Chain A
Amino acid sequence: MRVGAAPRLVTSAQLLDIDWNYPIDLAAGAEETGRTVAQKERRALPRDEALRALAGDDRRPLLVLRECMVCAGTDEALLTSGADNEKTLLLMRWFHCVKLPPDTSENPNSPFHALFPDNDSAHLFVSRWDGGDLVPLEDETSRTALWKSMTSLLDSSYEGSTRTPLKALAKLLDEYDRLDIELAQERAQAVKLIEKYGSDSSKLRKVERALEALATERAELDAQVRELTELELRAAEPTAAR
Chain B
Amino acid sequence: MSGVALAAGLAALLAAGLARPTAALQDDAPPEVDPYTRGQEKYVERVGYGSFGPFLWVPGATTSAVVEHLGGVPLLWVETEHFRIGSSLASYTIATDQVERNKIEAELKRLSKQLPRVKAGVNELDRWLRLHLFAQRAEELFERFAEDFGVGQDDGPLLPDEKHQLLLCANSSTFARYMQRYHQLPAETPMRVFEPHAGTVLFACAAEQLESFYDNDTALHALVARSVALNLLARLEQAAHAPPVWLAQGVGHVYSRRVDPRYNVFGNAALGSMEDAWDWPPRIRARVKNGDFPSTREMLAWTTRDELDDPTHMLVWGRVDYLFEEHSGDLGPFIKRVCAALPEGEGALVARQERALSEAFDLEPEDFDKAWKRWVDRAYR
Instruction: Give the B-binding residues of A (Cβ under 8 A).
Output: 1-3, 7-11, 13-14, 16-18, 20, 22, 24, 28-32, 35-39, 42, 67-76, 78-79, 81, 85, 89, 99-104, 106-107, 110, 184, 187-188, 191-192, 194-199
Contact = CB atoms under 8 A, between A and B. Distances in A.
B272 interface: yes
B305 interface: no
Given A11-B15, A38-B60, A106-B72, 12 more contacts: A1-B17, A2-B16, A20-B18, A20-B172, A28-B69, A36-B60, A39-B69, A70-B26, A79-B21, A101-B70, A191-B270, A195-B286
Interface string B145-172: 0000000000000000000000000011
Nearest to A15: B15
Given A22-B173, A102-B72, A79 B18 contact: no
Interface stretch (B92-100, B175-183, B324-332, B362-370): B175-183
Given A35-B198, A110-B71, A101 B173 contact: yes
In the A-B complex, the 3 residue pairs with the smallest Cβ-Cβ separation, listed nearest first, are A101-B71, A37-B60, A198-B290
Given A102-B73, A195-B283, A79 B19 contact: yes
B246 to A, nearest CB: 19
A197 B292 CA distance: 10
Nearest to B68: A42
26 contacts: A1-B215, A9-B16, A13-B17, A17-B19, A18-B18, A20-B18, A24-B69, A24-B180, A30-B61, A30-B182, A35-B198, A39-B65, A42-B69, A67-B173, A69-B25, A72-B24, A72-B27, A89-B19, A100-B71, A101-B72, A102-B71, A106-B72, A188-B272, A191-B311, A198-B290, A198-B291
Given A1-B16, A3-B20, A35 B26 contact: no
B270 A67 contact: no
A18 B19 contact: yes
Interface string B3-30: 0000000001011111111111111000
Interface size bracket, B side: 35 or more
Nearest to B198: A35
A94 B211 CA distance: 25
Contacts of A1: 16-17, 20, 211-212, 215
A30 B286 contact: no
Interface in B264-288: 270-273, 283, 286-287
A79 B21 CA distance: 6
B197 interface: yes
A22 B61 contact: no
A72 B123 CA distance: 22
Most buried by A among B16, B65, B180: B16
Nearest to B283: A195
Contact of B272 (A7, A17, A36, A191): A191
A232 to B, nearest CB: 26
Contacts of B272: 187-188, 191-192
Nearest to B58: A37
Query: Chain A interface mostly helix, strand, loop or mixed?
Result: loop
Contact of A79 (B20, B23, B273, B286): B20
A32 B21 CA distance: 37
Contacts of A89: 19
Contacts of B198: 35, 37
A38 B61 CA distance: 7
Contacts of B20: 1-3, 75, 79
Interface centre among A32, A75, A76 (most CB of B within 10 A): A75
Contacts of B270: 187, 191
A166 B343 CA distance: 58
Contact of A13 (B16, B68, B215): B16
Given A73-B21, A99-B173, A37 B61 contact: yes
Nearest to A197: B290
Contacts of A70: 26
Q: Which of B21, B177, B270, B291 has the most CB of A within 10 A?
A: B21
A127 B288 CA distance: 60
B347 interface: no
B207 to A, nearest CB: 14
A71 B24 contact: yes
Contact of A24 (B12, B22, B177, B311): B177
Contact of B59 (A2, A36, A81): A36
A96 B271 CA distance: 37
Given A10-B15, A99-B173, A188-B273, A3 B21 contact: yes
B177 A75 contact: no
Interface string B189-202: 00000000110000
Contacts of B283: 191, 195
A177 B368 CA distance: 43
Given A35-B59, A39-B61, A103 B12 contact: no
A3 B59 CA distance: 41
A197 B273 CA distance: 19
